[in-house]
C-alpha cells in the first residue's frame, strides 16, 4: 500500500479524507500547521498507520524537510484559506500565499522528491458566479468568472497546475469540490465560514429556531462521500486530469432543516430573510456540478442522500458532545 501525505489533514475535509484512508488500510501522514482536534487524535492514535507532522505550508524549507523525512508516494493538498467577504482585503496576501504560491511550490517539491501522484483539492469556486446561471456545469466547461479573492486563488492554482501537468507530464489530478458539509467542520484560523447545513445543525442542537434567507437548493455533498471518492481515485489511475466532486442529486437546506428539527422537539424552521440566522456563500444557488468523469472512471456518484447524511451527521455530532473530546 502506498504512503499518503495529506497537507491540511487537520482541516474539515482533510480529516474526512484521513478517516477514509485509514479505514482502507493506507499509511497516512497528516501534515498540518496545527495538531488535529482532540477527538481526532483520540480516534486516529489507535491506528499504527497514522502519524502527524507539524508544518507550515508557507515555509518552503520546512516543507522540504518534511518531504525528505517522510518520502510519501502520494500527496494530497487540501490546505486553503476561506476568508469572509469582509476579510478579503486584510486576508488577501495570506490567501494568495497559501492557496496559490505555497501549492505551486509544493508540487515542484513533490516532483523533486519522487512523489508519484499529486492530488489537488480545488473548488468549484473557479467558476465564480457563472455556475449560478447554469442548470448544469460539466467538467469540460470553460465558463470561468471568479469574483472573490478565494475564487481567484482557486482558479489561478487550478489553471497553473493544469498547465504544469501539460508542460512536464507530472501526474497531477485536480478535484473541484462542490458545496460540502459534514463531520469535522468547524471554525479555524483558515476556515472562517461554515456551510449552511452545519450552521443549521448547530442552531437546532442548541434548541434555537432556524430562519433561512432562501430555500438553498443545490447538489450538497456530504464530506464522507469526499473521503470515499479520494480512496477510489488512489486505488486506480485517473483517466482524467479534472474531476468534479459534488452531488448530481439536489435537495434544499429548508428540507434538510425541517427534517433535522423533528429530532429536536420545540424547534421551528422558516424562510425569513429579515430574521435570517443562517448565511450562504452566495445569494443565488449553484447549478449541478456534473460528475461525468468520475462516474465514467469509477462508477461512483454519492452514497449519502439528504436523510442519510442528516442521520449520520447528527449521530456524529452527538457523539463528540458526549465524549467531550472535540474542540
Q: Is residue 325 part of a domain?
A: no
Domain-embedded: residue 277: no
> Consecutive 10-residue runs of the chain (327 residues): their mean pLDDT?
95 96 97 91 91 96 97 97 88 95 98 98 93 87 90 97 98 96 85 89 96 94 97 94 93 97 96 94 87 92 94 92 49
The rounded distance, in Å, linking the Cα atoms of 177 and 179 is: 7
DSSP string, 45-57: TT-TTEEEEE--T
Which residues are registered as beta bridge partners of 191?
82
Provide the domain limits for residue 54: 3-189+220-248+286-313
Rg over alpha carbons for the chain, rounded to the nearest Å, is 19
Under DSSP, the state recorded for 82 is B
pTM of the model as a whole:
0.94
Stated length of the chain: 327
Residue 270 lies in a domain: no
205 in a structural domain? no
pLDDT, residue 232, reads 96
* 108 domain-assigned: yes
Residue in 72, 153, 52 with CA at minimum distance from that of residue 119: 72
CATH code of the domain in which 107 resides: 3.40.50.720
Domain annotation covers residue 66? yes
Q: Report if residue 259 sits inside a domain.
A: no
Q: From CA 141, how far away is CA 132, in angstroms rounded?
A: 14
- For residue 32, the tally of other CB atoms under 10 A from its CB is 23
Residue 84 lies in a domain: yes
Query: Would you state the pLDDT for residue 325?
Result: 47
Is the distance from CB of 7 to CB of 78 less than 8 angstroms? yes
Report d(CA 243, CA 61) in Å as an integer: 31
Q: How many domains does the chain have?
A: 1
| CB of 225 closer than 8 Å to CB of 180 | no
Nearest to 131 by CA among 149, 148, 143: 143
Amino acid at each position: 500500500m502506498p504512503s499518503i501525505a495529506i497537507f491540511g489533514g487537520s482541516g474539515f475535509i482533510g480529516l474526512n479524507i484521513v478517516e477514509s484512508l485509514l479505514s482502507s488500510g493506507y499509511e497516512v501522514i497528516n501534515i498540518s500547521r496545527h495538531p488535529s482536534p482532540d477527538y481526532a487524535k483520540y480516534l486516529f492514535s489507535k491506528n499504527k498507520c497514522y502519524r502527524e507532522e507539524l508544518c507550515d505550508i508557507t515555509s518552503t524549507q520546512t516543507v522540504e524537510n518534511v518531504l525528505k523525512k517522510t518520502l510519501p508516494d502520494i500527496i494530497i493538498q487540501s490546505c486553503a484559506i476561506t476568508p469572509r467577504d469582509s476579510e478579503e482585503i486584510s486576508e488577501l496576501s495570506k490567501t494568495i500565499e497559501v492557496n496559490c504560491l505555497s501549492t505551486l511550490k509544493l508540487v515542484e517539491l513533490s516532483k523533486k522528491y519522487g512523489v508519484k501522484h499529486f492530488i489537488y483539492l480545488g473548488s468549484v469556486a473557479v467558476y465564480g458566479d457563472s455556475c449560478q446561471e447554469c442548470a448544469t456545469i460539466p467538467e469540460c466547461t470553460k465558463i470561468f468568472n471568479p469574483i472573490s479573492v478565494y475564487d481567484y486563488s482557486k482558479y489561478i492554482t487550478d489553471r497553473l497546475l493544469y498547465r504544469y501537468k501539460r508542460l512536464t507530464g507530472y501526474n497531477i489530478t485536480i478535484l473541484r469540490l462542490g458545496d460540502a458539509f459534514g463531520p469535522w467542520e468547524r471554525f479555524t484560523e483558515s476556515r472562517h465560514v461554515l456551510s449552511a447545513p452545519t450552521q443549521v445543525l448547530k442552531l437546532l442542537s442548541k434548541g434555537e429556531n432556524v430562519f433561512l434567507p432562501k430555500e438553498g437548493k443545490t447538489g450538497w455533498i456530504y464530506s464522507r462521500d469526499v473521503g470515499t471518492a479520494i480512496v477510489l481515485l488512489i486505488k486506480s489511475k485517473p483517466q482524467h486530469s479534472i474531476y468534479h466532486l459534488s452531488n448530481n442529486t439536489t435537495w434544499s437546506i429548508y428540507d434538510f432543516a425541517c427534517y433535522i428539527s423533528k429530532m429536536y422537539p420545540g424547534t421551528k424552521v422558516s424562510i425569513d430573510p429579515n430574521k435570517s440566522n443562517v448565511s450562504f456563500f452566495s445569494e443565488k444557488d449553484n447549478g449541478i456540478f456534473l460528475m461525468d468523469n468520475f462516474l465514467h472512471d469509477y462508477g461512483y456518484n454519492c452514497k449519502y442522500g439528504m436523510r442519510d447524511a442528516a442521520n449520520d451527521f447528527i449521530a456524529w455530532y452527538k457523539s463528540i458532545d458526549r465524549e467531550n473530546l472535540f474542540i
